[in-house]
Chains A and B, each alone.
Chain A
Amino acid sequence: MAFYRAHVLVCKGTGCSASGSSSVFDALGEEIRKRGLDQEVALVETGCHGMCEMGPIVVIYPEGSLYCRVSVDDVPEIVEEHLYKGRLVQRLLYTTPDRKVKVPRYRDIPFYSKQHRIALRNCGYINPDNIEEYIARDGYAALAKALTSMKPEEVLSEVKTSGLRGRGGGGFPTGLKWEFCRKAPGDKKYVICNADEGDPGAFMDRSILEGDPHAVIEGMMLGAYAMGADEGYIYCRAEYPLAIKRLVGAIAQAEEFGLIGDNVMDTDFSFHLHIKEGAGAFVCGEETALMASIEGERGMPRPRPPFPANKGLWGKPSNINNVETWANVPNIIRNGGSWFASIGTEKSKGTKVFALTGKVNNTGLVEVPMGTTIRDIVFDMGGGILKDRKFKAVQIGGPSGGCLTEEHLDLPVDYESLTAAGAIMGSGGLVVMDEDTCMVDVSKFFLEFTQRESCGKCVPCREGTKQMLLILEKITSGKGRMEDLKILEDLAVMVKEMSLCGLGQTAPNPVLTTLRYFRDEYETHIRDKKCLAKACSALISYLIDPDKCKKCGLCAKNCPVKCISGDRNTPYVIDQEKCIKCGTCLEVCPFQAVFKE
């Protein structure tokens, strides 16, 4: 094999693919060949680098330079300047939003320098379609170590020592969960990977599966060895075609290398792995519903006990963990449980991956040690709020989580502190909101989601979320009464306490936290019939400032309901009776004469 002096890594995760990384990849290949560099420069496709906002991302080693928003037109310059002449293409380097400084090295970009990558260790660094690159990065070394020199109970005890807790949202100690399954009587046991990531705005699990599928597979095999299982399922939503493609490829390669199959590495341990594609119902992320779905039943949760550890898939003892949890396991076995336990806070060990979205400069994936403050995540890594607006809140934990305010910015992110503040770790969605966001509208948005996804099996969730939603709709359309807030709160508490599964038990969280921290906004909607953030369309009016109006008539021409009148001599006026508040006039006015009130 030739010595490749430079490696050009092109992100082919879902985010960068959507912004055109495939054509950039092809163009790079073409240009490198044309320049006669194909014997010394390797072109590699990788999974997600996390900084999706800046995609398509191209990283060039050994310098470790990261180029942002690379287009096909930039390719000749990159090859000529960087690869041929060794000069950085300055204009494509990452620029910090605050200081306007160009950062030549990947690892010096604040977005990356503050991260601690364990679960995302290989994402964006290796070619996920090549098992040998995974092995080069110590892949399957943990499995080999476990099978050749550790007893199953020793693997279990390392995981217990590590303090790893479920990353899917619950935060239950992983070692303890494994122990229940290990101790459950039965010859046939299953391990399951929950890859039914369904929170709006969350894509941690997808990126791990796309960028480092073998880490998840190796983690599951370690779990299977520790618990005495010989078969596994990965339940992945069909909306993740790339993740499924990479998984299928990874399983096939692992089988080819004899790492999955009968008598792995000439030991007594055998393991077989299947992929089950889910249809994308949110409730199927709940473990009992997920198992029902694998069995071919309708995806509905059932009461526990019996817990899956005793009576799970096909009635056999089973253990379910989320993608990120599994991806942490090989690192724990390779480096030891106490290594993992040295990272994080007293009760929350290790790191957590967050999907940072909303009104923030650097949307993308970050992995930080537990205990990092929300301020660090939003302002240092996230680069602050878009257009320098004022920070208002973060929604943490997706539709099951809660909204936290400015006063929580210095809250360390760990399971306990988030729960105490009324939010949850959840799977790790983090939606940033600025002053233009209406909190009542936000809680309505999340409740609409959970209400639609409620499976309908238990009454509190099915009926309760519906009634709550109706009240919220009433308030946002200006028809709310003060006593509605009390009813809303009572309903929320009832749904939370009485629902069968995690979906209903957490669905009221956005409502409860916004009622707790932004009650005045609800009251303004009801009392003054006003939405101060100007987001609830029923409570705002579009008006034309007669002094600014140049009488061009563009608004009237574009109005879909023809409710704007005026002519060359008289300023235009909107008929409030007929106005449907679509906002078209505001968008088309070249003189900013149209405003919302």
Chain B
Amino acid sequence: MKVKSLEDLRKIKENAKDLTSARSGGATRVIVGMGTCGIAAGAREVMTAILEELDRRGLRDVAVETTGCIGMCQKEPLVDIIRPGEPRITYGDVSPGDVPRIIVEHLVNGRVVEDKVIGQTD
């Protein structure tokens, strides 16, 4: 498209933001346990569900990271959410079906989904 005004440039920038946003290390971090235990328990499907949900909601300022086994294999798949300035919340036994609820409640609205929480670290 042709840039005819400041507004046009802003629009391109807004759309293009997705291209580089992952490189600035997003404000909120979502960390999925991807050890052998996590993968066996279905972490791949959870990861896919998270990416789809973020995409559907147009949430871009989020860093989705993976991590290895942290030793709580019986609770896998584990998903951690860290909002800036808030404690790290660990969810256990997460299924793809839980993902939309966790994203909308916790990530967007800041309300921890208590029934799925298994731990909290500062």
Instruction: Point out residues on A near B: beta carbons under 8 Å.
Output: 1-7, 9, 39-40, 42, 61-64, 83-87, 125-126, 130, 132-133, 135-138, 140-141, 144, 148, 257-259, 265-266
Residue of A nearest to B26 (CB): A62
Which chain B residues lie closer than 8 Å to A126 at the CB level? 20
Could you tell me the distance in whole angstroms from the C-beta of B106 to the nearest C-beta in chain A? 18
Residue of A whose beta carbon sits closest to that of B60 = A3
Query: Which residue on B lies nearest to A82, using beta carbons?
Result: B66
Chain A neighbourhood of B1, CB < 8 A? 257
Specify which chain B residues have a CB less than 8 angstroms from the CB of A42 in the assembled complex. 22
Contact B34 A86 (CB under 8 A): yes
Q: Which residues of B contact A132 (CB under 8 A)?
A: 12, 15-16, 19
The CA of A126 and the CA of B16, in the complex, are separated in Å by 12
Which residues does chain B contribute within 8 Å of A148, judged by CB atoms?
Answer: 5-6
Q: Determine the distance from Cα of A87 to Cα of B70 in the docked complex, in whole angstroms.
A: 12
In the complex the two chains form, what is the Cα distance from A593 to B44 in whole Å?
62
B68 within 8 Å of A by Cβ?
yes
Q: Is A135 a contact partner of B12 (Cβ separation < 8 A)?
A: yes
Counting CB contacts under 8 A, is B111 at the interface? Answer: no
CB within 8 A of A144: which of B9, B15, B32, B64?
B9
- Name the contact of B4 in the complex, choosing from A5, A84, A258 (C-beta under 8 A): A258
Check B3–A258 contact: CB distance below 8 A. Answer: yes
- Given A85-B66, A86-B68, decide whether A6 and B9 contact each other with a Cβ distance below 8 A: no
Contacts of B13 in A (CB 8 A): 135-136, 138, 141
What are 22 sample pairs from A and B whose C-beta atoms fall under 8 A apart? A4-B18, A5-B22, A5-B47, A5-B51, A7-B23, A40-B51, A61-B24, A62-B23, A62-B25, A64-B25, A86-B33, A86-B66, A136-B17, A141-B9, A144-B3, A148-B5, A257-B12, A258-B4, A259-B3, A265-B4, A265-B5, A265-B8
Residue with the greatest number of chain A CB neighbours at <10 A, chosen from B3, B47, B52: B3
A266 near B4 (CB under 8 angstroms)? Answer: yes
Which residues on the B side are within 8 Å of A9 (C-beta)? 23
Query: Within the complex, what minimum Cβ distance (angstroms) separates A409 from chain B?
Result: 36
Top-8 shortest CB links A-B: A86-B66, A62-B63, A258-B2, A5-B64, A136-B16, A132-B16, A3-B55, A86-B67
CB distance from A43 to the nearest CB of B (A): 12
Chain A's closest residue to B15 (CB) is A132
* Known contacts A144-B9, A259-B3; is-contact A62 B22 (Cβ 8 Å): yes
B100 at the interface (CB under 8 A from A): no
Q: Is the CB of A1 within 8 A of B18?
A: yes
Min Cβ gap B17→A in Å is 5
Q: Is the CB of A257 within 8 A of B54?
A: no
The proximity string for B residues 55-75 relative to A, scoring 1 for CB distances below 8 Å and 0 otherwise, is: 100001001111110000000
List, in ascending order, chain A residues with CB within 8 A of B47's CB. 5, 40
Interface presence of B35 (CB below 8 A): yes
How many residues does chain B have at the interface if contact means C-beta atoms less than 8 Å apart? 43
Is A265 a contact partner of B22 (Cβ separation < 8 A)?
A: no
Inter-subunit contact B3/A257 (CB<8 Å): yes
Shortest CB distance B50–A (Å): 8
Please determine whether A61 and B3 come into contact, CB atoms closer than 8 angstroms.
Answer: no
Distance between Cα atoms of A535 and B22 in the complex (Å)? 51
Known: A130-B19, A136-B16, A265-B4. A84 touches B9 (CB 8 A): no
Alpha-carbon gap, A226 to B63, bound state (A): 41
Given the interface pairs A9-B23, A61-B25, A62-B26, the reply to whether A85 lies near B68 with Cβ below 8 Å is: yes
Contact B3 A136 (CB under 8 A): no
**Whole-angstrom distance between the alpha carbons of A4 and B65 in the complex?**
11
Give bound CA distance, A148 to B10, whole Å.
13
Q: Does A86 contact B65, Cβ atoms closer than 8 Å?
A: yes
Identify 11 new A-B residue pairs, CB closer than 8 A, beyond the known A5-B64, A140-B3, A144-B9: A3-B18, A39-B51, A61-B22, A63-B25, A83-B66, A86-B31, A86-B68, A87-B68, A130-B19, A136-B17, A257-B3
CA distance A83 to B32 in the complex (A): 12
Chain B residues with Cβ under 8 A from A259's Cβ?
3
Q: Which residue of B lies closest to A105 (CB)?
A: B25
| Residues of chain A within 8 A of B66, CB atoms compared | 83-86
Residues of B contacting A1 with CB < 8 Å?
Answer: 18, 55
1/0 per residue B86-105: CB within 8 Å of A?
00000000000000000000
Q: With A84-B34, A85-B34, A138-B13 as given contacts, are A266 and B67 in contact (CB-CB < 8 Å)?
A: no
Determine the distance from Cα of A516 to Cα of B1 in the docked complex, in whole angstroms: 60
Taking CB atoms, residues of chain A closer than 8 Å to B54 are: 3
- Give the docked Cα–Cα distance between A415 and B72 (Å): 59
Chain B residues with CB under 8 Å of A63's CB are 25, 65
Q: Known interface pairs A5-B22, A132-B16. Does A140 touch B68 (Cβ–Cβ under 8 Å)?
A: no
| B76 → A minimal CB distance (Å) | 13
Q: How far is the CA of A4 from the CA of B19 in the complex (A)?
A: 9
Bound-state CA distance A138–B22 (Å) is 16
What chain A residues lie within 8 Å of B9 (beta carbons)?
135, 140-141, 144, 265
**Complex: A83 Cα to B39 Cα, angstroms:** 13
Query: Are the C-beta atoms of A257 and B2 separated by less than 8 Å?
Result: yes
The residues of A that contact B55 with a CB separation of less than 8 Å are: 1-3
CA distance A141 to B9 in the complex (A): 8
Asked whether A133 and B6 contact (CB < 8 A) given A3-B54, A83-B66, the answer is: no
- For the complex formed, measure the closest distance between the CB of A57 and the CB atoms of chain B, giving whole angstroms: 15
**Roughly how many angstroms separate A6 CA and B6 CA in the complex, as a whole number?**
31
Closest residue of chain A to B23, judged by CB?
A61
- Complex Cα distance, B2 from A266, in Å, reads 10
- Complex alpha-carbon distance, A87 and B35, angstroms: 9
Shortest Cβ gap from A557 to chain B (Å): 56
- Bound CA span A131–B54, Å: 25
Please pick, from B8, B20, B35, the residue contacting A137 in the complex, using a CB distance under 8 A: B20
Whether A62 lies near B19 (C-beta < 8 A) is no
Q: State whether A4 and B22 are in contact (beta carbons under 8 Å apart), knowing that A63-B65, A85-B66, A136-B16 are contacts in the complex.
A: yes
Chain A nearest CB: distance from B43 CB in Å? 10
Q: In whole angstroms, what is the CA distance A6 to B63 when docked? A: 8
Enumerate chain B residues within 8 angstroms of A125, measured Cβ to Cβ.
20, 23
A39 proximity list for chain B (CB < 8 A):
51
**A141-B14 Cα distance, complex, nearest whole Å:** 13
Which residues of the other chain, B, contact A135 by a CB distance below 8 angstroms?
Answer: 9, 12-13, 16
Chain A residues whose C-beta falls within 8 Å of the C-beta of B63 in the assembled complex: 5, 62
